[in-house]
Amino acid sequence: MAKNEQVLQLEPSTELRFRGPFTDVISADLKLTNPSDKRVCFKVKTTAPKRYCVRPNSGVLEPKAHITVAVMLQPFEYDATEKSNKHKFMVQTLFAPDGPINQEQLWKEVSPENLMDSKLKCVFEMPESDHIEAKVTKPVETTKQSSGGDNEVKKVMEDYKKLQSELSQLKTENNQLREEGVRLRKVAVSETVHSTPISTTPTKSAQATGLVLPPMVYLIAALILGLLIGKLVL
């Protein structure tokens, strides 16, 4: 049985190109145009459904209308040895029946002879400036390591600045404590000097000391007094 010719016009018509690096979601647009005078139902399928997200993946195109389908490739570690063209997409179409359309039921019950389809292969490209056509996995890992190293250096510098700030603050507080200690010592000495009373009268102990004379003094005084009396008598 001859294959039905595709009624829709596809742009691009044979392949979807995804340009790396593939560390984030990469999107490729697929434009579908209905040049006919009939409504056309379409459905987009892929051989790698876990690697792609398609919006919308099905719908109805009115006569002379067009729609852009976004095909989004999920992030992954690219390996140049992996053949990207093993991923393929197929756009299936059929003329819409009259009346309301239940898409899920329609595609379950459609006869193969009423189907039209077009196939597209996927092509992965890397920017020439990155020089990663031969091997991409290692440079990606190197970039990650370099980024991690930069983050570590940045963190160390931030910690160093923080420690410098804390050390400067401790020095300032130490100087303040030292000045406060000197000031308190001066105040203590000053208060001690002013609080000590100066006595102008002899203390009781001093008076007692003045009244108590050694016995030798009394003997000498008695001898001198005796000599004086003797001279007066003669």
Residue 215 lies in a domain: no
User: Distance between CA atoms of 2 and 18, rounded to whole angstroms?
Assistant: 33
Asked whether the predicted pLDDT for residue 28 surpasses 90, the reply is yes
User: Distance between CA atoms of 74 and 71, rounded to whole angstroms?
Assistant: 10
Strand order in the sheet with 26-33: 9-11, 26-33, 66-73, 52-55
Band (2; pLDDT cuts 50, 70, 90)? low
Specify whether 117 is located in the same domain as 167.
Answer: no
Band (139; pLDDT cuts 50, 70, 90)? very low
Specify whether 154 is located in the same domain as 103.
Answer: no
Band (212; pLDDT cuts 50, 70, 90)? low
Query: Of 88 and 78, which is predicted with more confidence?
Result: 88
Q: Region 138-166: what's the mean pLDDT? A: 61
Residue 112 lies in a domain: yes
Specify whether 156 is located in the same domain as 50.
Answer: no
Which domain covers residue 83, as residue numbers?
9-129
pLDDT of residue 169: 79
User: Distance between CA atoms of 76 and 124, rounded to whole angstroms?
Assistant: 12
Query: Of 195 and 73, which is predicted with more confidence?
Result: 73
Specify whether 73 is located in the same domain as 91.
Answer: yes
Specify whether 108 is located in the same domain as 157.
Answer: no
User: Distance between CA atoms of 143 and 139, rounded to whole angstroms?
Assistant: 6
Residue 61 lies in a domain: yes
Query: Of 41 and 189, which is predicted with more confidence?
Result: 41
Asked whether the predicted pLDDT for residue 85 surpasses 90, the reply is no
Specify whether 32 is located in the same domain as 117.
Answer: yes
Specify whether 102 is located in the same domain as 76.
Answer: yes
Query: Of 213 and 121, which is predicted with more confidence?
Result: 121
Specify whether 155 is located in the same domain as 68.
Answer: no
Residue 220 lies in a domain: no
Q: Which helix (H) or strand (E) holds 134?
A: none
Number of domains in the chain: 2
User: Distance between CA atoms of 124 and 126, rounded to whole angstroms?
Assistant: 7
For residue 75, whether the previous peptide bond is cis, meaning omega lies within 30 degrees of 0, is no
Specify whether 71 is located in the same domain as 156.
Answer: no
Per-residue pLDDT tens digits for 193-211: 565 555 545 545 444 444 5
Place of tokens 């700030």: 165
Q: Which two tokens stand for residue 160?
A: 């160093």
Specify whether 31 is located in the same domain as 72.
Answer: yes
Task: Look at residues 77, 106, 129 and tell me which one is the last residue of a structural domain.
Answer: 129
User: Distance between CA atoms of 135 and 23, rounded to whole angstroms?
Assistant: 15
Specify whether 100 is located in the same domain as 160.
Answer: no
What CATH number is associated with residue 19?
Answer: 2.60.40.10
Q: What is the mean pLDDT of the chain?
A: 78
Extended strands (E) in the chain: 9-11, 15-19, 26-33, 40-46, 52-55, 58-61, 66-73, 88-95, 116-125
User: Distance between CA atoms of 170 and 150, rounded to whole angstroms?
Assistant: 30
Residue 230 lies in a domain: no
User: Distance between CA atoms of 173 and 181, rounded to whole angstroms?
Assistant: 12
